[in-house]
Amino acid sequence: MSGSTSGHPGHPGISRRGFIAGTGSLLGAAALAGRVPAARAEAAPAAALLVSGARLPVLVIGTGYGGSVAALRLAQAGVDVHMVEMGMAWDTPGPDGKVFCNTLEPDHRSYWLRTRTKAPLNYFLGLPIDRDIPRHTGILDAEEFGGITVYQGRGVGGGSLVNGGMAVTPRRENFGAVLPSVDPAEMYGVYYPRANAELGVGTVDPDWFDSTECYRYARVGRKHAQRSGFPFVFVPDVYDWDHMEREAAGTAPKSALAGEILYGNNHGKKSLQQTYLARARATGRVSVSPLHRVVSVAPAGGGGYTVVAEQLDTGGAVTATKTVTADRVFFAAGSVGTSKLLVTLKATGALPLLNDEVGRGWGDNGNVMCGRANHLWDPTGRLQSAIPCAGIDNWAAGGAFAEVAPLPTGIETYASFYLTITANPHRARFSWNAAAGRVELDWRTAWKQPSIDMARTIFDRINAKEGTIYRTDLFGVYKIWGDHLTYHPLGGAVLGRATDHYGRLTAYPGLYVIDGALIPGNTTVNPFVTITALAERNIEKIIATDL
Ligand code: FAE
């Protein structure tokens, strides 16, 4: 059978009781962190929303990978943690009985406060596929800056709710370019293994891969890669592979095989709700306020920090403004969210002593998308698992690592589709536009050209070998490259520059960055395992020395 490792496979919508019942896993997890959790008779009350005037030991902004690691480890060390999340809880089924909507049928649950979808792949056969939707605090944010659209997850679980679950540890020889100031021995010896175990990372069973219809598209990808002499690798994922095999056998409810991915998976995916966050909440020391957006952090008169958060309704309107005091604040709002907050707080005088590195060093992980048109005798299959499981590694020779991605349309497309991660050298900066009252990013669309050139080191050769061409109907009319977007924002508060070597904002004791903002723009592979492992490293140090 497939190789799912530890973790808590389950379903979104797991009940609070489920979180509490999961306490048995706590000791194992605590042992990993080298700490024993303080005993607690009861879990926190279910609805412990932020209350104005409260004094909190720790407030975490955001519930993605960095925030979830911080919350779990602090709670295990005996510290009460309150997590503030601007997105929804995603624990309640909608009118169709499902928590998440399908990729092919986007409804109000799909996008963050938009009246029209903004699909990453926005054309098909040259026709636009976006459609009108009711404005709602949906799960996927397509945040638009001047030269790039940055896709991000919104809700309790952050990006883990919407991502493909591809859980990739960078090759060790590339690590120096990923986090130059971090000792690879400790990362590969301790923190990457810890992150992989906690996230529940596993790999598809190669025998099943070879026989199942739902990975025909990936086998076509393998054949083409290998015939052109490229290394083809299986890519680990946090999807429960046993569940997927049961989906294919018709004995489990379908999620990956029903095209669910971009707007959430109703079954099978081990998002943070099933792993770190479940274990954090099982300590009884972690509470979460969904639909609360932090807008200010500033030193408080009597010590600690005054944090202001706006409570939102599902139409995005502010229904309350709450002010609390926290001894420590962890910025875990994601690369974009943390950068925007810090840049705003520095520029508007709330945290004026933040250094000039804040906002700098932002990259797109070199993301670029493309499709290839296959011959009619090379079908990629009507049934495609929405969870990618393989890639083409041309990093050393061409600076490109290409995921063989699905196009789960339900019809035969004769297309091979790829998201390529490249060694794009460009880095952008967030800055405060006082006149407009907003943070801007100076990325330029033309900066994708190196990514396109690197991706072409793979696909030009494959096309030449196979006698095939690029698809021109997926990103517009006669447009080959999906060069307007990224799924992998990284940087903006880079480790060792905006912060010290453990994420401390040293001008303000008790303020920390612990998310993708710390990583200087590229991880050579998909980023969340590195974000998680770095957070594990940093929080261990912070707990040992600062608390
Ligand atoms: P993140 O997970 O984004 O969490 C930040 C959280 O903070 C979010 O829940 C925000 O709503 C919240 N927030 C932001 N601002 C505020 C505020 N002011 N107040 C309160 N809350 C706030 O951050 N990565 C992989 O490794 N493998 C994949 O297969 C993969 N596929 C992806 C597919 C898609 C469509 C997308 C969008 C991303 C994908 N990623 C993938 C990227 C990955 O999800 C991302 O790197 C991580 O989620 C980033 O983790 P952070 O902890 O930095």
pLDDT of 342: 99
Which of the four CATH numbers 3.50.50.60, 3.20.20.240, 3.40.50.2300, 3.30.460.10 does domain 55-87+271-361+490-546 have?
Answer: 3.50.50.60
The span from the CA of 190 to the CA of 187, in Å, is: 6
The span from the CA of 361 to the CA of 139, in Å, is: 27
> 162 alpha carbon to ligand 1 midpoint, in Å?
8
Regions of the chain short of the pLDDT cut 70: 1-47
The tokens for 408 are 């789960």
Query: Can you tell me which atom of ligand 1 is nearest the CA of 161?
Result: 44
DSSP 3-state helix, strand, coil percentages of the chain (rounded to 5)?
Answer: 30, 20, 50
Helices marked H in 269-316 — which ranges? 276-282
Instruction: Take atom 16 of ligand 1 and give the residue whose Cα is closest.
Output: 333
The tokens for 79 are 């510290």
The span from the CA of 410 to the CA of 106, in Å, is: 15
Please write the tens of the pLDDT for every residue from 221-268.
Answer: 999 999 999 999 999 999 999 999 999 999 999 999 999 999 999 999
Angle, helices 26-33 vs 65-76, to 10°: value is 90
**Extents of the domains making up the chain:** 55-87+271-361+490-546
Instruction: Take atom 32 of ligand 1 and give the residue whose Cα is closest.
Output: 163
Instruction: Identify the residue whose tokens are 């306490």.
Output: 23
The span from the CA of 140 to the CA of 146, in Å, is: 19
> 525 alpha carbon to ligand 1 midpoint, in Å?
15
Neighbouring C-beta atoms of residue 304, cutoff 10 Å = 19
The tokens for 536 are 């594990």
Which residues are paired to 543 by β-bridges?
none
Angle, helices 65-76 vs 528-546, to 10°: value is 30
Query: Can you tell me which atom of ligand 1 is nearest the CA of 388?
Result: 29
The span from the CA of 19 to the CA of 40, in Å, is: 14
Task: Name the average pLDDT for the chain.
Answer: 92
Task: Give the type of residue at 22.
Answer: G
The string over 51-87, giving b where at least 16 C-beta atoms fall within 10 Å of a residue's C-beta and e elsewhere, is: eeeeebbbbbbbbbbbbbbbbbbbbbbbbebbbbbbb
Query: Which amino acids bring their CB within 6 angstroms of ligand 1?
Result: 61-66, 84-87, 151-155, 158-159, 162-166, 262, 293-294, 332-335, 337, 341, 487-488, 515-516, 526-528, 531
**Ligand 1 pocket test: which of 163, 495, 518, 522 has the largest number of ligand atoms within 8 Å of its C-beta?**
163
Please write the tens of the pLDDT for every residue from 320-338.
Answer: 999 999 999 999 999 999 9
Environment class of 208 (CB within 10 Å of its CB; exposed 0-12, middle 13-18, buried 19+): middle
**Ligand 1 pocket test: which of 486, 528, 538 has the largest number of ligand atoms within 8 Å of its C-beta?**
528
pLDDT of 126: 81
